[in-house]
């Protein structure tokens, strides 16, 4: 049973990983699907997947993202959370969420976890849980944590190429930053002004602190070089 009570207007770091630390994204189509779900499920209304087959006799399955979607009438979304930032890793994900309405985060995460697991299980002909139990959620209470978290979330992909970043053991900072600028599966590119998945996140709130995309990119590189957050604080952000 979850021991955290979500409150409207508060910000939470939400994350989870695959059961037995398994990969939860088999290919780029899976990553597109998850990001698509981040968008579709952030709505008071039931999600409508424009890539589902029309034939009701066929089990729901995601069509190729290169395929032309069927035309449907779209309604204006009524957001239940603000998705401030996100990052997908091979076996886990990070989200920075602010609740907009009562029960918003719980509803969003239930739809996201259930919907993505169903599509993943069908595609790979498996059954059962995909993620390791309930997602973890940490209330961001300290201003210092709030300032560090967007950087931490967006720097996670460096685990794939320069895992020493957490201990400030990076020999080539320019190479590390280039890697991040070529990693599509996070909200980082949208924060530095390169359109990637601009409709998925609500960036106005964070950018009010970081001034502008160019400044965020500059501060990101600076934070990577001069991390001043304590190890115990950083551990609070990481997966157990």
pLDDT score at 209: 83
- Give rounded-to-5 percent helix, strand, coil for the chain: 40, 15, 45
For residue 34, count other CB atoms closer than 10 A to its CB. Answer: 20
Q: What is the pLDDT of residue 198?
A: 96
In Å, what is the CA distance from 34 to each residue of 61, 111, 168, 187, 197? 13, 11, 31, 13, 12
pLDDT (0 to 100) of residue 234: 54
For 181-204, the pLDDT digits (tens) are: 999 999 999 999 999 999 999 999
> Is pLDDT of 140 > 80?
yes
Q: Specify the pTM.
A: 0.85
Average pLDDT, the chain: 84
Q: Please answer whether residues 50 and 69 qualify as being in contact, where contact means their C-beta atoms are separated by less than 8 angstroms.
A: yes
The residue among 37, 34, 110, 44 whose CA lies nearest residue 77 is 44
Task: Specify the pLDDT at position 197.
Answer: 97
pLDDT in tens, 44-90: 987 665 444 443 333 333 333 433 444 445 578 899 999 999 999 99
């Amino acid at each position: 049973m979850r021991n955290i009570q979500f409150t409207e207007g508060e910000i939470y770091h939400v994350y989870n990983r695959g059961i037995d630390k398994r990969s939860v994204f088999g290919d780029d189509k899976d990553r597109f699907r998850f990001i698509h779900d981040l968008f579709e499920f952030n709505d008071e209304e039931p999600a409508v997947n424009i890539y589902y087959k029309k034939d009701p006799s066929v089990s729901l399955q995601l069509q190729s993202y290169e395929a032309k979607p069927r035309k449907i009438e779209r309604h204006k979304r009524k957001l239940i959370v603000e998705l401030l930032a996100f990052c997908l890793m091979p076996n886990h994900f990070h989200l920075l969420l602010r609740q907009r309405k009562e029960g918003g985060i719980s509803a969003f995460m239930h739809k996201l976890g259930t919907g993505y697991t169903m599509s993943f299980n069908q595609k790979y002909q498996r059954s059962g849980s995909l993620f390791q139990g309930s997602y973890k959620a940490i209330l961001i209470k300290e201003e210092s944590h709030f300032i560090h978290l967007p950087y931490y979330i967006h720097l996670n992909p460096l685990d794939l190429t320069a895992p020493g970043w957490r201990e400030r053991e990076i020999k080539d900072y320019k190479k590390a930053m280039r890697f991040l600028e070529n990693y599509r599966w996070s909200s980082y590119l949208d924060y530095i002004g390169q359109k990637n998945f601009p409709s998925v996140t609500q960036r106005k709130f964070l950018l009010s602190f970081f001034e502008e995309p160019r400044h965020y990119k500059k501060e990101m590189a600076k934070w990577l070089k001069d991390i001043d957050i304590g190890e115990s604080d950083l551990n609070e952000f990481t997966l157990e």
